[in-house]
């Protein structure tokens, strides 16, 4: 199945166009996860806690959301042990039927971009000359700063291995405009130019719902820009950060969607994992208490987004 | 010692402002490294070959060059096993007195950028609340697409842990201009604006030679742009890719240097590791034959660059 179709199928099933970010922060993970850890070295011990924590989160939200978005920075900061926890998290989430969006904002040029594409989404060459999947995420976020030539290896791997990318087009942070809003001589902003490229590539990975797995990151914090970007990229899926902790509200995400209620998936990380309990509560709670609060936060986000969407797009298909 | 000073000290000692890129490509590593490998799984087997290969390369060139630049993409493509080989390579090269420039082109926003900075250059929090170095490279390449706010955590970690960054300013590839050459309303290109920011940060990490470890990537393939960027960033170190296999010649790198012969370090990866032997030769050679040819290629690069620099900058300090 086309991976955009799988994302859509999961979205319709859960009536939820949202994704939960798996951003493990050892300072914020409840204390009950950090007791009695038996590991060879201290970095491995952290990685073991992260994986146990993720597994519980995934079990809790697997029927509520279509996808998870592990942020690689929070794993690779613990080196190879952290990356091992990342790999196990990807495999566990996929086994539970979730689509896995790897947020790693990778890119480089030529054969180096190819190496990133092969390792994160495609297959890598082994000693005997055969090829094997490696990290094997479903989607990967990629950075366009090096130009369209650097994006091509990723598009190509998406075609050959039925994967997807979200190209950074307009990010949610306050300084995103310094480069992304600059207007070129053709009258388009940098964001709009990248959007045009993404849209041109979209057809090659379009699924039966008409949406492409060659997608874009468009922040919830810039709803006006989202209107113009949706027009330029009518058939690309949007990954929408900035909801919740970063200040974007449910109404701000509306321009990222099409009237069918599809075309975007809204991320929340801290708002689901950490902000619903105080640090004092996280120091004392049981796993069950913590996970019930995660479940409640995920359900609340689904209800908020679904209500706003349904109110505006009465013809949406779920 | 300020890490820019260490780089300069190594450069003066070797009379060599170049860096060898450790870009392991299993399809090109000589066959003699791929025999009799005993590993638990096929990705680990590749990682073991990569580390054995790197160790030999490092032993061969440690007295000839000031630094090595392992490209993370070629390691993390093999997941956690590849990252383990990367970590061992960093430690081995540092133990041999080499400066290690990690080429990973990382970045993100807010606490995610902080996680990258902590993991690659700084220290990470452990379960008991203490902090430990993780990957612990000397320098890291970072991408500025998300704006100056995303660069601040890296600058801060450089200050606190005596490390360095090379911010992508003008990359060596053919499509680099699509974003980097766009002229903003203030009349500056995107590259020049980033250069201005880098230069403003440079003072905080300046060493006794007057150079800063808050540096820039400036491709050898755009010597005209390098002239203007050198003027904007007089005291920042430049990491210069594009020499050799990508088409930049020894004369093209001149604008990246100051008249003291310092201020830049020129990278070659494929030109040292692979292109001096045919694939037939790499299939049959012994380790010793291969390493002698690597040594010869590294010496040739030193001679070429040194001759061109000395011819232009007669007052250079080494």
pLDDT in the model for residue A249:
84
Average the pLDDT over B194-218 and give the result. 95
Q: E strand or H helix at B139, and its extent?
A: strand B139-142
pLDDT in the model for residue B203:
87
| 3-state DSSP assignment of residue A172 | coil
pLDDT in the model for residue B246:
74
Residue B226's domain spans which residues? 3-312
Q: What are phi and psi of A202, to 5 degrees?
A: -60, -40
User: Which chain B residues have a beta carbon less than 8 Å from that of A118?
Assistant: 77
Q: What are phi and psi of B276, to 5 degrees?
A: -85, -5
Q: E strand or H helix at A1, and its extent?
A: none
pLDDT in the model for residue A133:
98
In a domain, B318, yes or no: no
Number of domains in chain A: 1
Instruction: Output the CA–CA distances (angstroms, integers) from residue A50 to A44, A84, B25, B60, B127, in the order listed.
Output: 10, 10, 31, 40, 11
pLDDT bucket at B275, cuts 50 / 70 / 90: confident
Per-residue pLDDT reduced to its tens digit, B151-197: 999 999 999 999 999 999 999 999 999 999 999 999 999 999 999 99
Is B112's CB within 8 Å of A74's CB? Answer: yes
Alpha carbons within 13 A on the beta-carbon side of A162: 9
Q: Is A193 exposed, middle or buried (0-12, 13-18, 19+ CB in 10 A)?
A: buried
CATH number at residue B90: 3.20.20.70
Conformation bin of residue A65: beta by default, left when phi > 0, alpha when psi is -120 to 50: beta
Does the pLDDT at position B245 exceed 80?
no
User: Which chain B residues have a beta carbon less than 8 Å from that of A103?
Assistant: 108
pLDDT in the model for residue B9:
98
Cross-strand bridge partners of residue A170: A218
Please give the Cα distance from A158 to A168 (Å, whole number): 16
In a domain, A237, yes or no: yes
* Cβ-based contacts under 8 A for chains A and B: 225
pLDDT in the model for residue B247:
77
Alpha carbon B284 to its chain's center? 30
Question: CA B115, B121, B124, B130 torsion: positive or negative?
Answer: negative
Q: Which residue has the tokens 């066959």?
A: B31
The answer to whether residues B211 and B235 touch, using CB atoms and an 8 Å cutoff, is yes
Alpha carbon B171 to its chain's center? 13
DSSP letters, B103-150, are EEEE--SHHHHHHHHHHHTSEEE-TTS-EEESS--SEEEE--TT-HHH
pLDDT bucket at B36, cuts 50 / 70 / 90: confident
> Which of B105, B170, B196, B208 is labelled catalytic?
B105
pLDDT in the model for residue B250:
85
Q: E strand or H helix at A210, and its extent?
A: none
In a domain, B58, yes or no: yes
pLDDT in the model for residue A251:
87
Please give the Cα distance from B307 to B152 (Å, whole number): 38
Question: CA B74, A168, A208, A69 torsion: positive or negative?
Answer: positive
The answer to whether residues B110 and A173 touch, using CB atoms and an 8 Å cutoff, is yes
**Structure-block tokens of residue A148:** 């369209």
Number of other residues whose CB lies within 10 A of the CB of residue A35: 8
**DSSP at A170:** E
Annotated active-site residue A231? The verdict is no
User: Which chain A residues have a beta carbon less than 8 Å from that of B115?
Assistant: 71, 73-74, 77
Picking from A22, A24, A72, A80 by the largest number of B CB atoms within 10 A of its own CB, the best residue to mutate is A80
Residue ranges for chain A with pLDDT beneath 70: none
B80, B87, B124 member nearest A77 (Cβ): B124
Per-residue pLDDT reduced to its tens digit, B79-114: 999 999 999 999 999 999 999 999 999 999 999 999
pTM for this one?
0.98
Per-residue pLDDT reduced to its tens digit, A220-274: 999 999 999 999 999 999 999 988 877 778 889 999 999 999 999 999 998 899 9
In a domain, B317, yes or no: no
B25, B42, B109 member nearest A173 (Cβ): B109
User: Which chain B residues have a beta carbon less than 8 Å from that of A82?
Assistant: 119, 134
Per-residue pLDDT reduced to its tens digit, B107-145: 999 999 999 999 999 999 999 999 999 999 999 999 999
A49, A144, A145 member nearest B168 (Cβ): A145
Per-residue pLDDT reduced to its tens digit, B250-271: 889 999 999 999 999 999 998 8
Picking from B110, B112, B149 by the largest number of A CB atoms within 10 A of its own CB, the best residue to mutate is B112
In a domain, A236, yes or no: yes
| 3-state DSSP assignment of residue B189 | strand
Q: Is B149 exposed, middle or buried (0-12, 13-18, 19+ CB in 10 A)?
A: middle
The answer to whether residues A127 and B46 touch, using CB atoms and an 8 Å cutoff, is yes
In a domain, B32, yes or no: yes
Alpha carbon A225 to its chain's center? 20
| 3-state DSSP assignment of residue A104 | strand
Say which residues have a Cβ less than 8 Å from residue A60's Cβ, sequence separation at least 6: A291, A294, A295, A298
Number of other residues whose CB lies within 10 A of the CB of residue B160: 12
Interface predicted TM-score (ipTM): 0.97
**Structure-block tokens of residue A271:** 């708002």
């Amino acid at each position: 199945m086309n991976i955009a179709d799988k994302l859509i199928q999961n979205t319709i099933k859960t009536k939820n166009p949202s994704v939960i970010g798996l951003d493990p922060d050892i300072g914020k993970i409840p204390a009950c996860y950090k007791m009695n850890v038996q590991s060879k070295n201290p970095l491995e011990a952290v990685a073991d806690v992260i994986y146990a924590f993720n597994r519980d989160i995934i079990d809790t939200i697997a029927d509520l959301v279509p996808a998870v978005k592990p942020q690689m920075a929070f794993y690779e900061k613990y080196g190879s042990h952290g990356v091992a926890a990342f790999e196990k998290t990807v495999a566990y989430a996929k086994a539970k039927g979730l689509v896995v969006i790897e947020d790693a904002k990778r890119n480089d040029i030529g054969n180096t971009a190819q190496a990133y594409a092969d390792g994160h989404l495609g297959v890598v060459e082994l000693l005997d000359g055969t090829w094997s999947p490696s990290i094997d995420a479903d989607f990967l976020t990629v950075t366009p700063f090096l130009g369209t030539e650097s994006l091509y290896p990723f598009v190509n791997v998406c075609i050959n291995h039925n994967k997807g990318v979200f190209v950074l087009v307009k990010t949610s942070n306050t300084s995103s405009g310094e480069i992304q809003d600059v207007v070129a001589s053709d009258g388009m902003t940098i964001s709009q130019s990248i959007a045009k490229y993404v849209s041109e590539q979209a057809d090659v990975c379009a699924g039966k719902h008409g949406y492409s797995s060659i997608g874009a990151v468009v922040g919830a914090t810039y709803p006006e820009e989202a209107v113009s970007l949706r027009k330029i990229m009518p058939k690309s899926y949007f990954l929408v950060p900035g909801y919740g902790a970063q200040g974007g509200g449910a109404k701000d995400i509306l321009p990222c969607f099409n009237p069918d209620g599809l075309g975007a998936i809204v991320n929340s990380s801290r708002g689901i994992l950490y902000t619903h309990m105080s640090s004092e509560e996280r120091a004392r709670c049981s796993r069950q208490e913590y996970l019930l609060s995660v479940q409640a936060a995920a359900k609340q986000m689904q209800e908020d987004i679904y209500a706003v969407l349904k109110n505006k797009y009465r013809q949406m298909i779920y």
